Structure 1
């Protein structure tokens, strides 16, 4: 599954050119000077992105590098407009951001099912000579050519849409927590960077309700500079409503580890710190009540915290309650 997750592609898009306007003159048996009746050219085809909530990866575009829309047809006599060029629709997952391939400028993002945005606009069809007749020139021989096509490289980046994003160092137990709370089957091992791609899981809650949780590749100091998985990972956090910080109970200092994680987010994008946050202290099955009390001085203030153990399944209902309350504040 991991190899099928593609969150970045670069594609070359080429729209269709517009059809030429017609210079036709009306010539009928009893109307020797019928005047101009040239129709307009059809517009060139657009390249359009369309949101599809059934998709979760850009894999289908990884090997489709060149996207080409159809050309518009020329206009003809009797004021007939040429056919439009065929539009090309590219289905993309919700959370896809389109950028200019040369400048990196963000063009738009797709966040809703069925939402359509033109990424490369087709050329306009030329006007037929009928548009250019005047009181002094009743038989214009001129018609507009169609507008030329547009082409260029477009970057598509996926930012995972989820209610809860898991934030923690590699090997903090994020994948294990997701696998216990949901039906997701992330790859799990006790070495850093097992999770190289985001995993999404639907977590069932009381009364047939649910929320979506994303296990995102582990953060490391310097991620904001692109170290490790760097920006690829941080991009996915931007779309989560709530951040669940995961710090293991055997960390040298829970407060210090939390502050490092917090600082990485601040350096990448300060707005991330406006999101609601919860701290889960994992691997808590090794702690008794006295040890938990002793640790409280090392836990950051002003953030809800829960002691959990994914393996021993301790504190998980309490964690889900806490997440639900924060999501619905």
Structure 2
């Protein structure tokens, strides 16, 4: 067992002392899909003391192409991703404490989990959750690593509270109608590249190597052979409500979170995003047609039939998801098709 981390300890920036620090740290990973499962495996192999995984979904056959911890049996059994991941991770390294939580990543749930966490990894599929992570990171002074990928494209950025611009600085508002894996697909090398950026940054943070932490936002497209590294330091805003001089952490408030309601007697969940959001129905129509589902649009709304569910999308941002009364399931469908 003494040889387990020997090659990592031979790497001078980590060494024996750095390995001891890694063994004592706790990493929280939000999402156990492609990015989450790969991040978790890399960090468990690296000997992080504790890894907490939170995910609301179960293993599906479409996941197996890129989500490396899972097997055909997991998909057949529809095992929750967090549970399947924990089983595999424990087999990889029984020395690491793995906490698996099958739940939606709500503000209340995340606040409870943050005690003694050293760094947060973003492996989610939506900006609603990312902006909650961002505000919690600023509020509690915990670094987090943003990461996302779709198609052959990927992006990553390291956010250090009190130092770098936060995600709210960069976005200012939640982007709506983005591409997702379910609308444009994804190739596994894009996942691996984002994970490489994220895990490297996490290890730097865990061993306190502040000077080598990447301060730029990186993007790439592996298919078209493009790569960029963008300096964003000047985008830090003194008046930012998440990280500025007088923060109010707006995305922790109810008003700036997705609102959900089960419609009485209709087997339908309504989801309403934050105030002031409008939808480009023509753009959404173009994106959804690529999935093979039935799409119909009039000047007021768009209807999208997946076969098992039907989404009705209004210009004011509201979405009705027909065919379920389960709010968690409805939110998963919402993020799958609308980003």
TM-score, with normalisation over the residues of structure 1? Answer: 0.27
Q: As a proportion of its length, which structure holds more helix?
A: 2
Structure index of larger Rg: 1
TM-score, with normalisation over the residues of structure 2? Answer: 0.26
